[in-house]
């Protein structure tokens, strides 16, 4: 295996970029992107790729040996093994948009759907109105699928949709007969990964060289979005109930492009493989494409091939496919959100109204409720210790969770250990548990910032999380007595009130670092402690099911919701679905309580935490008005961002000349208004299309951000059989005389039945504009 320049830590389950060092003079895989395909015959397109490569290399044989993939369905391009000088020659060719070295990517329910108001028990909701998403096809680019999982049974599922052109590809321990009327497609893409990693041993790898899933991530995401009904499923008695996906009769197509690397213990996905998977998905006929993958900050412009997902997604959206992507797991830091192109539906992760309280009883009979997924036997009153130097020895003691291994074993043997950590990753918890267990300890209590990920410890070892305040209470108790003891009881499941909904700490936040005027994320969805199917090979699998967390889990929740909406509105554009979801979202939880954003200090959630709010698919089915967009709107965005006209032209497949002066990015017809640098005032335009009753009248209601005036013209919109779409202007003025942070408000169109709400985010930047103008 070739040397890695850097290895990023696995954060929950989102995919992060991984690069590889290679000598500059050796052949390596490059992606040659040619933009929109110029011919409808894929064989003709592929032949043109071979001709281009033959002209460069001097023979058809060399071209054949060099070619890795031909991208011929959704767009035109190819992946080939080239030297740096050969790549440069191709890049200089006028018909080539980009040539870029390949890179690798590493990988970034029961209650969910009831919580979102889509209970199967209710006969009068979107789930039943759409026949549970029947005939809609959801594609997943991920780690594969475990086809025998009950979540992919085809009981009660009708014939395969007529628009499906794909199939199931045989491979290691996977045959076409593993597919059925539910799991209708399964392909795998490894050529790019193998070309870049010649030392990868396909015969010794624990991963399957087929569409079969080894680590379970792809199985989990697919079953969240479109899993069939599976009765009486729980995780060791927790989070139990009847399990299903959001669209339980939608069809599932798997595109495996991510591979487990045994030597590193990570999953890596080649960009060339991902692009080929997207190309095939466009050909096969998927309606929705879900990707729990991403890059890393700093982001690349959308016309730069290094943002492979944005490039592939552009072509998919142009063909009417809704592309849903995870927003990233680098929260709660600002400006960390990924997959920010305006044609992508980007998802943040929130909690459910469910928790797993775990009673901790101290020797003074005080009971503290921690959080855990502990299902073992009650641990009766046991010695409790916080490792610290008593002051009469030179020996090292540490109460820091990551350093518990520095303590003498006798300090922890036969005891429950209290430790503190500032680490945001679950690895701090699992490492502390492993240290205590190795020393003969019986359990560990971890004091940490509240809101971080909750995962069972290995072998169901008692590990309970509490916040710093409660941790300090436990520490004070330990110091107050000579023989401190504690009792730990098994975790319980608590659903509904008083458990509040929060944006998860790990969920990446806006504003958008590549284009701040484009609000990201778009929407929030449950992504914490999600129970779904997995591979039995997964270390944490219990009966083929697992509880995972991440925006990787939130994205397929939205994919499932979109599948239901697609079944109801088959002719809507991808932008229409995004608009309907954003403008109807919950801004309070289903109980009417405020939604908070977890972090170093909890705050009320704002659009940079969860976009429009938490998805409310039932309301999104009848949004009233939509902010629609098409290819011309995306071209307006690309021009406003200052991208090269030639690159835009080849991306969209038509000659594009941007207006002079260039258009304003504030006029992109998004279901949001984000102004990152307001000095005095600015006027912007939006257009709404009526998808409700033909004769409708809407009036505007504005909640302006603090210190901001918002004037909408006209204040009333009238729709009838002749007037389907109406434009309006928004004048935004600041009263601030200093630079400010972002302040938030909303703009609502209401006809007393529909409330079409978009978030408004404004930052006054007087000093920055002064330097821009002088």
Going along 652-724, which residue ranges are E strands?
673-678, 681-690, 696-703, 708-713, 716-719
User: Does the annotation mark 217 as catalytic?
Assistant: yes
d(CA 551, CA 15): 10
CB 351 within 8 A of CB 501: yes
3-state secondary structure of 677: strand
Residue 403: partners with Cβ closer than 8 Å, 6 or more residues away: none
Token reading at 241:
């109930």
Dihedrals φ, ψ of 238, to 5°?
-100, 155
Catalytic residue among 49, 73, 98, 217: 217
d(CA 761, CA 742): 6
3-state secondary structure of 619: helix
C-alpha dist (Å) from residue 68 to 169, 190, 296, 324: 18, 10, 26, 27
Catalytic residue among 102, 114, 142, 522: 142
Catalytic residue among 552, 640, 696, 761: 552
d(CA 62, CA 770): 57
Distance linking the first and last C-alpha atoms of the chain? 53
C-alpha dist (Å) from residue 708 to 664, 740, 759: 20, 11, 14
CB 11 within 8 A of CB 506: yes
Token reading at 148:
């025998």
Q: Which residues of 322-356 are buried (b: 16+ CB within 10 A; e: fewer)?
A: bbbbbbbbbbbeebbbbbbbbbbbbbbbbbbbbbb
d(CA 346, CA 507): 12
CB 558 within 8 A of CB 347: yes
d(CA 429, CA 417): 12
d(CA 384, CA 478): 7
d(CA 507, CA 334): 10
- Which residues belong to the active site? 142, 217, 552
């Amino acid at each position: 295996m070739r040397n890695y320049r850097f290895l990023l830590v696995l954060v929950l389950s989102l995919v992060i970029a991984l690069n590889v060092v290679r000598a500059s003079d050796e052949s390596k895989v490059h992606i040659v992107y040619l933009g929109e395909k110029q011919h409808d015959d894929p064989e003709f397109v592929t032949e043109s790729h071979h001709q281009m490569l033959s002209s460069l290399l001097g023979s058809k044989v060399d071209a054949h040996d060099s070619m890795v993939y031909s991208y011929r369905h959704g767009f035109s391009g190819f992946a080939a093994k080239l030297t740096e000088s050969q790549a440069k020659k191709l890049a200089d060719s006028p018909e080539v948009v980009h040539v870029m070295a390949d890179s690798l990517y590493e990988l970034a329910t029961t209650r969910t759907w009831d919580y979102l108001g889509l209970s199967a028990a209710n006969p009068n909701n979107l789930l039943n109105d759409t026949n549970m998403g029947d005939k809609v096809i959801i594609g997943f680019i991920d780690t594969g699928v475990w086809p025998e999982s009950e979540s992919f049974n085809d009981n009660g599922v009708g014939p395969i949709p007529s628009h499906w052109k794909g199939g199931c590809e045989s491979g290691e321990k996977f045959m076409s007969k593993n597919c059925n009327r539910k799991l209708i497609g399964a392909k795998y893409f490894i050529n790019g990964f193998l070309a870049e990693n010649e030392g990868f041993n396909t015969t010794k790898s624990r991963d399957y060289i087929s569409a079969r899933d080894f680590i379970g991530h792809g199985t989990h995401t697919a079953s969240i979005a479109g899993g069939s009904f599976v009765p009486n499923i729980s995780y060791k008695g927790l989070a139990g109930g009847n399990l299903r996906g959001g669209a339980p009769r939608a069809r599932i197509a798997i595109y495996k492009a991510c591979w487990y690397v045994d030597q590193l213990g990570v999953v890596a996905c080649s960009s060339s493989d991902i692009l080929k998977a997207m190309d095939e998905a466009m050909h096969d006929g998927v309606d929705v494409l879900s990707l729990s993958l991403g890059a890393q900050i700093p982001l690349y412009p959308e016309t730069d091939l290094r943002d492979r997902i944005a490039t592939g997604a552009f072509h998919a959206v142009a063909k009417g496919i809704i592309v849903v992507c995870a927003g990233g797991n680098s929260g709660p830091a600002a400006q960390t959100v990924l997959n920010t192109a305006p044609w992508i539906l980007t998802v943040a992760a929130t909690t459910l109204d469910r928790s797993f309280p775990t009673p901790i009883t101290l020797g003074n009979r005080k009971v503290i409720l921690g959080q855990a997924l502990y299902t073992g036997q009650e641990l009766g009153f046991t010695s409790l210790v916080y490792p610290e130097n008593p002051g009469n020895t030179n020996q090292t003691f540490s109460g820091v969770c990551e350093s518990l291994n520095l303590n003498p074993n006798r300090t922890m043997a036969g005891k429950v250990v209290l430790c503190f950590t500032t680490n945001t990753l679950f690895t701090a918890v699992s490492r502390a548990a492993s240290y205590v267990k190795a020393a003969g300890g019986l359990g560990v209590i971890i004091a940490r910032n509240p809101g971080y990920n909750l995962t069972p410890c290995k072998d169901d070892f008692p590990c309970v999380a509490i916040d710093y305040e409660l941790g300090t209470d436990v520490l004070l108790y330990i110091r107050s007595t000579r023989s401190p003891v504690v009792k730990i009881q098994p975790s319980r499941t608590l659903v509904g009130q008083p458990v509040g909904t929060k944006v998860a700490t790990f969920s990446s936040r806006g504003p958008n670092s590549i284009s701040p005027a484009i609000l990201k994320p778009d929407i929030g969805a449950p992504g914490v402690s999600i129970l779904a199917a997995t591979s039995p090979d997964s270390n944490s699998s219990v009966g083929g099911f697992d509880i995972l967390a991440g925006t990787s889990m939130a994205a397929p929740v939205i994919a499932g919701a979109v599948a239901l909406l697609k079944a109801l509105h088959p002719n809507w554009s991808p932008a229409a679905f995004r608009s309907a979801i954003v403008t109807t979202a919950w801004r309070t939880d289903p109980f009417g309580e405020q939604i908070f954003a977890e972090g170093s200090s909890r705050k009320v959630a704002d659009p940079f935490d969860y976009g429009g709010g938490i998805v409310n698919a039932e309301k999104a089915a009848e949004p009233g008005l939509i902010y629609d967009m098409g290819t011309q709107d995306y071209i307006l965005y690309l021009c406003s961002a200052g991208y090269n006209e030639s690159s835009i032209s080849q991306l969209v497949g038509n000659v594009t000349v941007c207006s002079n002066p260039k258009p304003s990015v504030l006029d992109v017809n998004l279901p949001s208004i984000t102004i990152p640098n307001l000095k005095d005032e600015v006027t912007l335009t939006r257009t709404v299309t009526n998808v409700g009753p033909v004769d409708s009248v809407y009036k505007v209601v504005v909640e302006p951000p603090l210190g901001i005036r918002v004037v909408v013209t006209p204040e009333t919109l009238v729709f009838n059989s002749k007037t389907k779409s109406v434009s309006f202007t928004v004048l935004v003025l600041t009263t601030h005389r200093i630079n400010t942070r972002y302040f938030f408000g909303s703009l609502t169109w209401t006809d007393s039945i529909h409330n079409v709400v978009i978030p408004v985010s404004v930052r006054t930047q007087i000093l920055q504009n002064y330097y821009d103008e002088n």
